[in-house]
Amino acid sequence: MHDETLRLQSKVQKLEDLLEKQRWLQKEQAMKFEKTINKLERELEEQKFQSQYNREQVQRFQLILRNLIEGVYAMDAEGNVFPMNTRAQQLLDEDLVVPILLEASTGQDVVERIQNKRLDTSPQSEPDMIPHTVLVSAHPLRDEDSKIVGSFAVMRVDNEQEP
């Protein structure tokens, strides 16, 4: 009977040791899990900060574009054309800019003068269409790998008489 008791005590001790090992493994896994969660929370905070910073940068760029006296059009890789500010549409209609943007999207810089008419809205005169020349400078738009992903055009009144 004494041998049986020793055998059972030995088994119980082995089970307790095994149980203690499992507790330590679970504690280690919980600590690793907690570290992973902390790391993910830090990364999330960094992403939130970066996102807020990017929103602020976009607002700054939009403010700059809105206040330019030059007009800016852009074309993406699919051929969609976007007026980047209201001045662009005031100077030239999109259909006049598209061929220039297409040519620039082939990789070459393009400079053209376009005769156009604009609405004269000065307070001292009746609204009327007046002729003007628009200087358009278009360039390919390249990504960080120098791959052409579209084009953009900057335009201004050529005779500098208009603000």
- Per-residue confidence (pLDDT) for residue 161, from 0 to 100: 46
- Per-residue confidence (pLDDT) for residue 129, from 0 to 100: 67
Over the chain (163 residues), the average pLDDT of each successive run of 10 is 85 90 94 95 96 96 93 95 93 93 95 79 61 92 95 86 44
Determine the Cα angle at 10 with ends 8 and 11, to 5°. 65
CA 64 to chain centre: 16
Q: Report the predicted TM-score, pTM, of the whole model to 2 decimal places.
A: 0.64
User: Domain map of the chain by residue range?
Assistant: 1-67, 69-157
Which fold, 69-157? Beta-Lactamase (3.30.450)
- Per-residue confidence (pLDDT) for residue 116, from 0 to 100: 80
- Per-residue confidence (pLDDT) for residue 128, from 0 to 100: 60
